[in-house]
Amino acid sequence: MSDTITATKWVLDPTHSEVQFKIKHLVISTVTGAFNTFAGTLQSATDDNYDNAKVEFTLDVDSINTNQEQRDAHLRGEEFFDAAKYPHIKFESTSFVKTGGNEYKVTGHLTVKDITKPVTLEAEYGGSAVDFYGNHKAGFEVTGKINRKEFGLTWGAVTEAGSIVVGDDVKLSFNVQFAKQA
């Protein structure tokens, strides 16, 4: 990591952040889920210049929540995430490039289970503000799409009528707020 990137360090504020995903079920509807426990950091050149920033992000697989405990247990199990063996999903950026206005393209390595692959996400900088306690905050909305099977999440089933139970594409949506560190 270059010294020019370490000028400002930000830590994810989990109280004001959310990590969600959407996936097709039976091809006719979408299931929305979330990870409730996560952590991350962002290092930027200055308080308001995020070009070439460095991002690291970790999700706790056991915190998956689709509002249906039986499904969540299946997702944590060996047929999907195998949380006992692979307790975290990790992302580490390799590129954070401004594409215009408040828009950025974030490229990095995503690790799910024991598989690491490059992914590119879109990030929209929502701005910065100082909260009631004097903390300087910066917010981003990050979106993207991955194919679950590329990360070893290959479980699948077909109904008697021939409908695919779980789609391959997973839409990601992170609304994250970072707090500037002293």
Per-residue model confidence (pLDDT) at position 80 = 86
Contact 120, 105 (CB under 8 A): yes
Query: pLDDT of 26-63, one tens digit each?
Result: 566 678 899 999 999 999 887 677 889 999 999 999 99
Per-residue model confidence (pLDDT) at position 169 = 77
Per-residue model confidence (pLDDT) at position 28 = 60
Beta-carbon contacts of 162 under 8 Å, excluding residues fewer than 6 positions away, are: none
Per-residue model confidence (pLDDT) at position 29 = 64
pLDDT for residue 90 is more than 80? yes
Residue tagged 């905050």 (tokens): 137
SS3 169: strand
DSSP, res 77: S
Contact 49, 7 (CB under 8 A): no
- Report DSSP letters for 53-76, one per residue: -EEEEEEEGGGEE-S-HHHHHHHH
Per-residue model confidence (pLDDT) at position 2 = 47
Task: Let me know how long the chain is.
Answer: 182
Provide the Cα torsion 139, 144, 54, 10; round to 10°. 20
> Which superfamily does 3-180 belong to?
Lipid/polyisoprenoid-binding, YceI-like (2.40.128.110)
Per-residue model confidence (pLDDT) at position 48 = 73
Number of H helices, E strands in the chain: 1, 11
Distance (Å, whole) CA 167 – CA 61? 20
Distance (Å, whole) CA 176 – CA 12? 7
SS3 173: strand
Residue tagged 């789609």 (tokens): 167
Residue tagged 């021939």 (tokens): 162
SS3 151: helix
Query: pLDDT of 120-143, one tens digit each?
Result: 999 999 999 998 889 899 999 999
List C-alpha distances in Å: 9 to 40, 97, 137, 178.
Answer: 11, 18, 11, 9
